[in-house]
Amino acid sequence: MNTGTFVSDWLLTPLAAGVFGVATMELIMWLLTRTGWARGNMIVAVGGLLTGKRDNAFRVGLALHLLAGFTIPCSMPGLCVQPS
């Protein structure tokens, strides 16, 4: 296995998929809040659960959201590109 192939198949592909998924979900959640269909922000809520305050809850929640967006595709068989 080539090191470049490993990096592109096992790190960059899930990272790109995770960032795209996180950005898409955040946009949809923002639109739902903006239009009045929902009150609140899920990323702030998750970050607030961990920090206990709202001051830096968005940063912590976004970091968790990005981490989940990267690890979930890697942990599910068939979602990551399998090197041959």
Total of domains in the chain: 1
Residue whose structure tokens are 């961990």: 50
Contact 65, 46 (CB under 8 A): yes
CA dihedral 2, 82, 77, 22 (to 10 degrees): 80
- In three-state secondary structure terms, 54 is coil
Q: Using one digit for the tens of pLDDT, what is the confidence trace for 23-56?
A: 888 888 889 888 988 787 888 888 999 999 888 9
Does some domain include residue 59? yes
Q: Residue 4 and residue 42: Cα distance in Å, rounded?
A: 36
Single pTM value for the model: 0.60
Contact 75, 14 (CB under 8 A): no
Q: What value does the mean pLDDT take over residues 12-33? A: 82
Q: Confidence band (pLDDT; 50, 70, 90) for 59?
A: very high
Domain that holds residue 13: 3-75
